[in-house]
Amino acid sequence: MCFFFLQLSDIFVSFDETPQGAASLAQVHKAVLHDGRTVAVKVQHPKVQRQSSQDIVVMEVLVRAVHWLFPDFAFMWLLEEAKKNMPLELDFLNEGRNAEKVAAMLAHHRFLKVPQIHWDLSTKRILTMEFTEGGQVNDLDYMKKNGIDVNEISQNLGQMYSEMIFVQGFVHCDPHPGNVLVRKCPRSNRSQIILLDHGLYQVLDPSFRVDYSRLWLCLIRGDMPGVERFSRRLGAGDLFPLFACVLTARSWTSVNAGISCVPVTDTEDVEIRTNAALYLPQISDLLNRIPRQMLLLLKTNDLLRGIETTLKTRAASSSFIHMSICCIRAVASTTDTTKEECEGLRSLRVKGERLGL
């Protein structure tokens, strides 16, 4: 639709000029169409296209300067990811297509709500969608006030992301609390997760996805030969112990025991933060080694862990069962599935049924 010669009143009965939310790339306004429907209008900031190109140039100069001054720190991966992802995030039609794809892909999850796109009112720099309200997923007071079960939300969020990552290979990579809302559905009164901001997705290669799934199965049960094998296959090399700790945000002791067998403690969290500072050069080296599609997964994992920490549901047994089932589903889709993996899937299904999953 061409907006150049239209007034706001030609499209909307009302348009709230005070944004509902604002970020570095765009801001979102609430509006009402002439047919009475309430919509959210995401408007890209006027100069962001040009400014983003300049930012990339500045970033490249800084990255190269840092590497020249400190050879142990190589951040070319950061530059490469910015160059690849920035144009995609600035194309709101791409965001709309991602939203529709993930909504169709996860339509069997009745707890998930993805706002519908109004294509006739959208362009590369304007995205108009169904207006949905809810509280942020880290707002415990909102959930308590509205009778929303924290454990149910955490379990559903983990189930949804396990399927995206391990089964579908199409992953929403920006699940910070502002993009994950919760509410009671007005029609069914069931708890819902509203997933917003679909500009940043990672598509996983099938071979990568299967190796990643096998690695997580090994991490969950403490299969150390398997952890080394699949970490190496994913590019970590001799840094596979560090890779396992970065991926899980768990200590090497917990990784050896099997992360599903050892609860997360405050002491372990302090150890992880301390070691992260000590091993910065090795972490930099690791991030340059691993496949680029792994980088956004690490970011996504970290954001999801932050939500679980707030909800006090981190390392819950149900989340490991959901994850394991999705991992084995991924592995079972290949021709080289082992007998042990098939038996593991049957065992996990029995455990899931016992827990009502």
Question: Catalytic residues, which ones?
Answer: 174
At a CB cut-off of 8 Å and minimum separation 6, what does 110 contact? 188, 190
Burial class (CB in 10 A: 0-12, 13-18, 19+), 272: middle
Helix, strand, or coil here: 192?
A: strand
User: Greatest CA separation found in the chain?
Assistant: 65
Q: Do 139 and 194 form a contact (C-beta atoms < 8 A)? A: no
Integer Cα distance of 50 and 46 in angstroms:
9
Residue 172's SS3 state is strand
Which of 40, 25, 27, 42 has the alpha carbon at shortest distance from 90?
Answer: 25
How many helices (H) and strands (E) the chain has is answered by 15, 11
Cβ atoms of residues 16 and 29 within 8 Å: yes
**Calpha distance 9→187 (Å, rounded):** 31
Residue with tokens 């400014």: 51
CA distance 109 to 111: 5
For the chain, the straight-line distance linking the first and the last C-alpha, in angstroms and rounded, comes to 45
Structure tokens belonging to residue 188:
């069914």
Is 331 in contact with 210 (CB distance < 8 Å)? yes
Closest by Cα among 82, 127, 331, 56 to 220: 331
